[in-house]
Amino acid sequence: MYSVAVRRHFMIAHSFVGEVFGPAQRLHGATYTVETEFRRAQLDGDGLVCDIGRAGAALEAVLADFDYRNLDEVPAFRGQNTTTEFLAGEIWRRLAAKVREGALGPGTKGALEGLRVVLHESPQAWAAFEGPLE
């Protein structure tokens, strides 16, 4: 399986509900680094998995919905603990939709087979979500 990866960062504020979160129940900020990996079994006619510039632009478009936002105020996340695990899955879902729409170029629609999103909350801790692109 071939892959191409792009990385960006974004900043958010949020809080959690539940004793398990201790002091993170209070409003706090986070600067995340997100890595995305696009996968396919065979390279296209130009020897590419996908256009790396389009991959970065698609990721930036997804992250624009989160960057510099208090996620507690985002209507779609009401009642949801926006944990690192949850956000990795949410970024995956939104980025997978962009892939299906053809945002990575005409040669990738239906050709990309998998996507992995790794969300680093620090150099010591991260969460990931991955799955097939259908």
CA proximity to 112, closest of 94, 130, 133, 86: 133
CATH number of 2-132: 3.30.479.10
* Cβ atoms of residues 113 and 130 within 8 Å: no
Specify the residue for token string 């259908």.
134
Domain range annotation of the chain: 2-132
pLDDT 10s per residue in the chain (134 long)? 999 999 999 999 999 999 999 999 999 999 999 999 999 999 999 999 999 999 999 999 999 999 999 999 999 999 999 999 999 999 999 999 999 999 998 888 889 999 999 999 999 999 999 999 97
